[in-house]
């Protein structure tokens, strides 16, 4: 199965280890990977700030970058959800609407792809520890995916998953929201960090790097020694002999 990797801006700039983990997991599951070099940003920051027309150039570039891909898989429910907005943005445009629909239909967040397309829930991962999982707003509300991360994490050998209080509450990142409303954002992330601490977990897991960057940064500044991991890194915790990394 041929899979094109959509790396996202945060992977490119800040979390290359997440991109590597995603590729290694998919290759271990039998996928043939490629990386269209012309991909850049999906256009979400400007789109969410109200600059629709200015966002279209980035969107068109992404549609062309993945035009010949069989499947497009990304490590962020937020960025994949942005692809799902494209058909509405280009509705009625004879040149771009069909390209937008095509990209939406073949784009999946990593855990969605593993569970719904590959039909796998146990990737053979092993990680000792107590963990809790943060649901990102865009993945839950816009992409509509609530279950696949849990189905995969339940099968990780050695991992005990504790429920997170107020798990549907936003962490306060929200992309440009955290920049425009820093005081409100700080209160929201403080609440999230307190809920994480209440679980007794030593690992915080999520499927969106923006949330992990925000919560992890606050945990660090608060002196809370809770490890932050993207779910791709967790799923890649397998013995080296099996093609993964033991963390």
Tens of pLDDT, residue by residue, the chain (247 residues): 899 999 999 999 999 999 999 999 999 999 999 999 999 999 999 998 899 999 999 999 999 999 999 999 999 999 999 999 999 999 999 999 999 999 999 999 999 999 999 999 999 999 999 999 999 999 999 999 999 999 999 999 999 999 999 988 999 887 778 778 889 989 999 999 999 999 999 999 999 999 999 999 999 999 998 999 999 999 999 875 555 554 4
The verdict on 67 and 111 lying in the same domain is: yes
Q: How far out from the chain centre does Cα 238 lie? A: 20
Q: What angle do helix axes 182-198 and 209-221 make, rounded to 10 degrees?
A: 80
In the sheet that holds 203-206, the strands lie side by side as 157-162, 126-133, 203-206, 227-230
pTM for this entry: 0.92
Residue linked to tokens 């549609």: 63
CATH of the domain at 165: 3.40.50.11810
Number of domains the chain is built from: 2
> 205: closest CA among 240, 159, 172, 143?
159
Alpha helices in 52-163 (DSSP H): 52-65, 77-83, 86-89, 97-105, 110-112, 137, 148-153
- Domain boundary among the residues 74, 95, 116 is at 116
For residue 242, what pLDDT is reported?
Answer: 58
The verdict on 190 and 158 lying in the same domain is: yes
The verdict on 222 and 192 lying in the same domain is: yes
- Domain boundary among the residues 116, 146, 169 is at 116
CATH of the domain at 112: 3.40.50
For residue 1, what pLDDT is reported?
Answer: 86
Cα–Cα dist 10/3, whole Å = 20
Residue 133 lies in a domain: yes
Residue 234 pairs in a beta bridge with none
Residue 247 lies in a domain: no
Counting every residue, how long is the chain? 247
Cα–Cα dist 113/91, whole Å = 26
For residue 168, what pLDDT is reported?
Answer: 85
Domain region containing 213: 125-242
Cα–Cα dist 85/80, whole Å = 9
Alpha helices in the chain (DSSP H): 9-13, 16-28, 44-48, 52-65, 77-83, 86-89, 97-105, 110-112, 137, 148-153, 177-180, 182-198, 209-221, 231-235
The verdict on 192 and 106 lying in the same domain is: no
For residue 245, what pLDDT is reported?
Answer: 55
> 214: closest CA among 10, 20, 13, 6?
10
For residue 181, what pLDDT is reported?
Answer: 83
């Amino acid at each position: 199965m041929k899979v094109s990797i959509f790396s996202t801006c945060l992977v490119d700039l800040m979390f290359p280890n997440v991109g590597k983990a995603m590729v290694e997991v998919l290759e271990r599951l039998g996928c043939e990977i490629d990386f269209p070099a012309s991909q850049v940003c999906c256009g979400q920051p400007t789109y969410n700030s109200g600059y629709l027309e200015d966002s279209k150039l980035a969107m068109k570039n992404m549609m062309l970058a993945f035009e010949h891909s069989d499947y497009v898989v990304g490590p962020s429910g937020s960025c994949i959800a942005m692809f799902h907005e494209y058909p509405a943005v280009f509705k009625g445009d004879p040149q771009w609407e069909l390209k937008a629909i095509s990209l939406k239909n073949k784009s999946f967040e990593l855990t969605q792809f593993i569970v719904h397309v590959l039909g796998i829930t146990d990737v053979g991962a092993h990680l000792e520890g107590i963990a809790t999982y943060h649901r990102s707003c865009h993945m839950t509300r816009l992409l509509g995916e609530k279950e696949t991360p849990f189905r995969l994490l339940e099968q990780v050998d050695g991992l005990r998953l504790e429920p997170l209080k107020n798990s549907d509450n936003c962490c306060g990142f929200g992309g440009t929201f955290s920049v425009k409303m820093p005081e409100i954002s700080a209160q929201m992330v403080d609440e999230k960090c307190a809920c994480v601490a209440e679980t007794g977990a030593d690992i915080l897991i999520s499927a969106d790097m923006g949330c992990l960057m925000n919560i992890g940064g606050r945990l660090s500044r608060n002196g809370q020694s809770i490890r932050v991991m993207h779910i791709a890194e967790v799923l890649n915790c397998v013995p080296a002999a099996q093609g993964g990394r033991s963390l």
